[in-house]
Amino acid sequence: MVLTAMRGALGFLSRLPVGHTEQAWDAFVGTPAAFPLAGYVVGGLVALPFLAAGLLPAPVVTAAYLGSVVLVTGVNHADGLADLGDAAVVHGDPAERRDVMRDTTVGVGAVLALGTVLLALALAALAAAELPPLVAIALVVSAEVGAKLAMATLACIGRPSHEGFGSTVVDGSGPRQLLASLAVAVPAAVVAVPATAAAVLTGPLVALAISGWANRRLGGIGGDAFGAANELARVAALHVGVATWSLFDMPLGDWGVLAWTLS
C-alpha cells in the first residue's frame, strides 16, 4: 500500500516514468505521508549537481540544480504558484479571485511570484554550493522533503474551497495523518541537525501561512495552493537550512553531516 501510494505521489509530483494507474492515484490521495516519502526521491535526484560542489564554480552547480528541478518536477507546481500570484493582486471576493486563477492569461502577479521565487531559489542554491558537498546535499534533500511535508500539511489541515484536487486530497485526512507525515520526515531532519531540522520544519510553517491566507482570500485551498506550497516551502527551507548551518554548524567543517549523524 505504501509503495503504491509513493508511486502515485511520484507520478503527480515528478516527471519520473513511474506510470499512472487508478490504484496508485487512490492510494496516494488517501496517504498524505506519501508526499514527504516522494520528497526523498525527488530531493536525491535534484541534489546530484551538488556532488560537484567545490570542484566546479558555484554558479555552474546552481544552474545545474535549477535545471534538474525543472527536469525532475516539471512546471505543474510553478503553475499553481503563478495562479496564486495573480489571485493575490486581485481586489475582490474569494469567488472573483478563484475566477482569476482559472483564467489562462498570465498577469503581473504571476510574473512577480515566479520571478521572485526563482531568483530566491537561485540565491539559496548558490549559497549551498559554497558549502561542503555532503552538507549541501543534505540541505537540498531536507528542503525537498520539507516542501512535500508542506503539501501533506495542507492535506491534513486545509479546508477545500471547491471540488477538485484540493478537496480530493483533504477529504479523509486529519491530525493523525499529519503525525504520520511528520514521522516520515524525521530521517531528513536529523541528518545534520539543527540545519536540516530547521529546513524540514519550515515546510509546515509555510503551509500554515498559505492555508490561513487562502481561507481568508480564496475561501479555502485548491490544487493551486498545493503547488504554491511546494515552490514556496522549497525556497524557504533551503534558505533557512543554509542560514542555520552558517550560524550554528559551520565549525564542524567538511564532515559536519557525518559528525552530527554519528554523535
Contact 158, 166 (CB under 8 A): yes
Say yes or no to pLDDT of 60 above 90.
yes
pLDDT of residue 249: 65
Say yes or no to pLDDT of 196 above 60.
yes
pLDDT of residue 166: 64
Q: Per the confidence metrics, is the pTM higher than 0.95? A: no
